[in-house]
Structure 1
Amino acid sequence: MRSTHIRLRRACVATAAAALLIAPAVAGPAHGAPAQGSFAPAAPSPSPSPDGDTEFKQLTPAVAAQLDAAILQVLREAHVPGVTVGLWAPGKGSYVRNFGVSDKATGAPMQSDFRIRIGSETKTFTVTALLQLVDQGKIGLDDPIGKYIAGVPNGDRITLRQLAGMRSGLFNYSEDNDFIKAFEANPNKPFTPQQLLGYSFDHPVQFAPGEKWEYSNTNLILLGLVVEKITGRPLNEVIGRDVLQPAGLRHTLFPIGAEFPVPHAQGYTDQSASGKIVNATNWDPTWAWAAGAIISDLQDLRSWARTLATGTLLTPATQAERLKTTSVGIPGAGYGLGIFNVQGWIGHNGSLPGYETLTVYLPEAQATMVVLLNTDVQHDGQEPSTLFGEAITSIVSPDHVYPGHKPTAPNPG
């Protein structure tokens, strides 16, 4: 059974081979909708920038034209309905563009104020809430999960740190055949965290705690339950009050069902049974919960990228722990605690039926990149968000191309 299309995608560092460097094409309309958005080049500097042009290029009209062409080529080749791209770098300018359509039935264009389901980027918020509890002295990263949640296989040995770092060895519930059948039978069906864990715990552990890295959404379900147990509040309320509010994110929310505030694009996925493209906009995301249910928008993600990478909501010591990465088999790429570092770009990607996102920050240039798509359909085995990220960074940060390398080890999981 082909499960890739109802699964919260692994972090791109695990799945994406950077085999396709997109060559610029002639810019023009895509899917009947021209590129829209804003482009704000920085004022020319009388002397070279101290960080050098190789770190992040000046967003001049010529560079903007290159970006337009490269993004349009990926959109066409990967058959993506629509994409919104945002780039910002102090002293270098900004670039915000919409390409393609938000609704294939009406041909309505993408807009930069749309909300979007961010999939696994949710993990960055859940782990931040967890790490805030570490800073408050209420939990320890090396506490075993069994101290808080009963019935976890190897629960006396698996630590919170290993769960956040994808090194627990617990089976990924979203790859369980019974879960897949239940979801495909009714994508509007709500799931509870306990049901999701049940799908995982029916399987033996995959390896000893800490032995290796393997992406598993089960880890985040457990961490979400820990946050609820320690705070005595629902996870959506904890993240809303303790993470979103202090971060100033006014258009980000943790839904408790299938609610999806407007405006938003229609999201398209391919059914695993038939392979047909279907509209997944209003499918219930409770199956993803702490691992992938959050909704956000371009400007909130722009702000969150910097907050996440610089540790604004955490103590320096805890942020340092978060940024310690484990190799995932790709040179220049590693996974920390609910966060990755790929060729210097720090952040996370997200994918669930109908939508993909990529939100990353390059500290060396204080540059932010956000990519939002209204499809999760892979192209030649690769996530389309990764293809866009690579095409963009090949132009603006050639010394930091995302993801930059083909995997040198088998795809984990």
Structure 2
Amino acid sequence: MLGSARTFGAHRRRHRYLRAAALAAAVALAIGACSSNSDEGSGAAGSSTAGSGTSAAASVTGLLPIGNAELQSIVESTAKELMLPGVVVLLRTPSGDQTVTYGTTERGGGAPVTLDDHVRVGSNTKTWTGTVILQQVQEGKIALTDPVSKYRPDVPGGDGITIEQLLNMRSGLFNYSETLELNEALDQDPQRTWTPDQLLALAFTHPPYFPPGQGYHYSNTNFVLLGLIAEQLDGKPLQEVFQDRLFGPLGLKNTVFPDSNALPTPYSRGYMYGTNVQTMTDPALPAEMQAEAKAGTLAPNDVTDGNPSWAWSAGSGIATANDLATWVEALADGKALDAEMQAVRMASFQPTDPTKPGGPEYGLAMAKMGPLYGHTGELPGYNSFMGSDPESGVTLVVWANLAPAANGQDPASGIAKTIVDAMFPPAAAPASIPAPAPTS
């Protein structure tokens, strides 16, 4: 089994959303079983399709079959329990593709969700930033052992922090998205445009969590620094860096690194219960508010139009389900790096908590989730999961347009966990899935 609900995601809880509600890709992709009995979902009945047969995974050696009806049931039951407006699932196997769509792009109405809808993918963006840095390492522009002070002399203690430690979340630098200042600002002025230097200034006013290399703490600060360094080395804006190095070569035509709060059409609106400050240290609403949500007397907030600049290179990306699947397959099978650098990356995974064997692992801007490699992401209103297993040929993408749920759960990660549990025998299934952190 994948393990407890709170360990499926590798970066969650207080890093939960790209935090400030933040980063759902943080360190505890904790997802898990859903426990609500609410029947309220605003979505229409879901639909599922399979590229070949009713159980695309059935013929894959070592995997347990999962039929269309079972996949549909997993999605619908979770969506109703967590009161999700919409969910999309894309499961690729060597035998074909299976897809499930549930609900609508707007709470209480709107068009049915589709695989073509664009959503905010939160901390999955970190894999773009990290991969660009690794490409620059390949090219000799930078070294994993370089101190960050070589490129950003303003980083406190930067002489002792390496590029590798930024990539694997072991720098100790304070996570700016855990600051009250940011969370209050996101609630009071959600369309504010943030610069990377403003985000770093929030982080640098706080002491580090630990000396470099002496622990693990999911921190968006690491990836804002890496984004600035990537721009510096290539001499162009990060949007162009991503397009030239990743999106163009891999044919990711529906993947965007935005410079505004707009989403390309078609897109799904995103919703969250409570505020960023309310869910800053615990994404679950107080019991009385959860009861109101279940009763339908407390509605989630529409947070679609919030400006994602506060997440920047750590979590402001946008994509469709198909593009996420193509991208995570490239991450896992090495299409984005040369063979030598891919081998370094795949050997880089370390436990996020050494006291918990079998728990989530994090490496060079990528998480290992049992047999799956990838990441999770969460920004207010959106939760996404992407994972791929090169050995079995299984790729799974899930997104939901409400995050967090009223009970604090990551909806997409929870659905992904249930699907992976159903497909992989207990010996192969992940004990936990590194999640998004609160983007991411």
TM-score strictly above 0.5: yes
Correspondence 1:287 to 2:310: yes
Q: Is the 8 A contact 1:12 1:386 kept in 2?
A: no
SS in 1 for 2:252: coil
Q: Is the 8 A contact 1:161 1:337 kept in 2?
A: yes
How far, CA to CA, are the matches of 1:12 and 1:391 in structure 2? 20
Match for residue 87 of structure 1? Answer: 91
How far, CA to CA, are the matches of 1:326 and 1:311 in structure 2? 19
The alpha-carbon deviation at position 219 of structure 1 amounts to 0.2
Match for residue 123 of structure 1? Answer: 126
SS in 2 for 1:365: coil
How far, CA to CA, are the matches of 2:75 and 2:65 in structure 1? 18
Correspondence 1:16 to 2:30: yes
Match for residue 389 of structure 1? Answer: 416
1:9-60 residue CA offsets vs partner (Å, 9 max, x unmatched):
2436525154x289xx9xx996351112422235999xx95x63xx33345x
The alpha-carbon deviation at position 107 of structure 1 amounts to 4.4
Q: Which amino acid aligns with 1:344?
A: P
Q: Which amino acid aligns with 1:88?
A: R
How far, CA to CA, are the matches of 1:322 and 1:217 in structure 2? 20
Q: Which amino acid aligns with 1:90?
A: P
Match for residue 341 of structure 1? Answer: 368
Q: Is the 8 A contact 1:393 1:400 kept in 2?
A: no
1:265-297 residue CA offsets vs partner (Å, 9 max, x unmatched):
111012326776211111110000000111110
Larger mean CA deviation between 103-112 and 217-226 belongs to 103-112
Of 112, 115, 122, the residue aligned with 1:112 is 115
Correspondence 1:148 to 2:162: no
- Taking only aligned residues, the RMSD between alpha carbons, in angstroms, comes to 2.8
Q: Is the 8 A contact 1:15 1:382 kept in 2?
A: no
How far, CA to CA, are the matches of 1:336 and 1:266 in structure 2? 32
How far, CA to CA, are the matches of 1:216 and 1:10 in structure 2? 11
Residues 1:381 and 1:103: Cα distance change in structure 2 (over 3 Å)? closer
SS in 1 for 2:207: coil
How far, CA to CA, are the matches of 1:306 and 1:41 in structure 2? 20
Match for residue 393 of structure 2? Answer: 366
The alpha-carbon deviation at position 382 of structure 1 amounts to 2.7
Q: Is the 8 A contact 2:126 2:223 kept in 1?
A: yes
Q: How many residues align?
A: 394
Of 304, 321, 330, the residue aligned with 2:344 is 321
How far, CA to CA, are the matches of 2:133 and 2:432 in structure 1? 32
Of 175, 179, 182, the residue aligned with 1:176 is 179
The alpha-carbon deviation at position 150 of structure 1 amounts to 1.6
Structure 1: gaps of 5 or more residues: 408-413
The alpha-carbon deviation at position 165 of structure 1 amounts to 0.2
SS in 2 for 1:118: strand
- Give 1:157-236 correspondences, 5 Å limit: 157-236=160-239
Correspondence 1:64 to 2:68: yes
Give the structure-1-normalised TM-score: 0.88
The alpha-carbon deviation at position 313 of structure 1 amounts to 1.7
Structure 1 segments of 4+ aligned residues over 4 angstroms from their partners: 2-5, 42-45, 273-276, 400-403
Residues 1:13 and 1:181: Cα distance change in structure 2 (over 3 Å)? closer
Match for residue 411 of structure 1? Answer: none
Match for residue 142 of structure 2? Answer: 139
SS in 2 for 1:97: strand
How far, CA to CA, are the matches of 1:400 and 1:200 in structure 2? 41
How far, CA to CA, are the matches of 1:172 and 1:356 in structure 2? 20
How far, CA to CA, are the matches of 2:183 and 2:43 in structure 1? 35
Residues 1:58 and 1:208: Cα distance change in structure 2 (over 3 Å)? same
- Give 1:345-356 correspondences, 5 Å limit: 345-356=372-383
Residues 1:21 and 1:182: Cα distance change in structure 2 (over 3 Å)? closer
Correspondence 1:36 to 2:47: yes
Match for residue 301 of structure 1? Answer: 324
Residues 1:179 and 1:394: Cα distance change in structure 2 (over 3 Å)? same
The alpha-carbon deviation at position 399 of structure 1 amounts to 3.8
Q: Which amino acid aligns with 1:304?
A: W
Residues 1:266 and 1:163: Cα distance change in structure 2 (over 3 Å)? same
How far, CA to CA, are the matches of 1:337 and 1:282 in structure 2? 31
Residues 1:381 and 1:109: Cα distance change in structure 2 (over 3 Å)? same
How far, CA to CA, are the matches of 1:117 and 1:402 in structure 2? 28
Q: Is the 8 A contact 1:356 1:376 kept in 2?
A: yes
Give the structure-2-normalised TM-score: 0.83
The alpha-carbon deviation at position 189 of structure 1 amounts to 0.2
SS in 2 for 1:108: strand
Structure 2: gaps of 5 or more residues: 1-13, 279-284, 286-298, 435-440
1:278-325 residue CA offsets vs partner (Å, 9 max, x unmatched):
111111100000001111101111111110111112112211222211
Q: Which amino acid aligns with 1:14?
A: A
Match for residue 254 of structure 2? Answer: 251
Residues 1:297 and 1:335: Cα distance change in structure 2 (over 3 Å)? same
1:198-249 residue CA offsets vs partner (Å, 9 max, x unmatched):
0000001110101111100000000001101111111111011111111111
Counting aligned pairs with the same residue, the percent is 36
